[in-house]
Structure 1
Amino acid sequence: MLGGENPLDASRTIQTLVSWCEIRNDFRMFRLDRTIALSLTGKRFRPVPERSLAECLRQYETQFGPQI
């Protein structure tokens, strides 16, 4: 067990980051507790309407229905 936490404890909070994945060319949910390392690439962020949070939510609702 890492950090003395029980991995089967359903009450623990798992933080996720919803973002565009360049490798899979799709939206993904990344678990922050599984992040091993970060590195700066020097690339600049340029907004792309098809990769916005609003588009991600629209696709989610299309696939799974509206959420409460």
Structure 2
Amino acid sequence: MVSANREMAVYCFDTLVAHYNSEQAPPPAFDEGQHALRDRRFPPIQAKELPYLQCTVSILTNYETARDYLDWE
């Protein structure tokens, strides 16, 4: 089962703060990928936005095999 915890949410903020302070981000205790600062679908988070950020987690589980992307049964 996939789960998220407080440590993961805190790490997200620590990574952003380190990025904008030109510091090295602390190593995570989990596989975080490299997506937060490189997702071209959204404009990058600006340093001035950090105090206003909130973190929510959505975990998709119970996957089902589908015929195609339109299979929404």
- Which structure has more relative contact order (CA 8 Å, sep 6+)? It is 2
Higher strand share: 1
TM-score by length of 1: 0.23
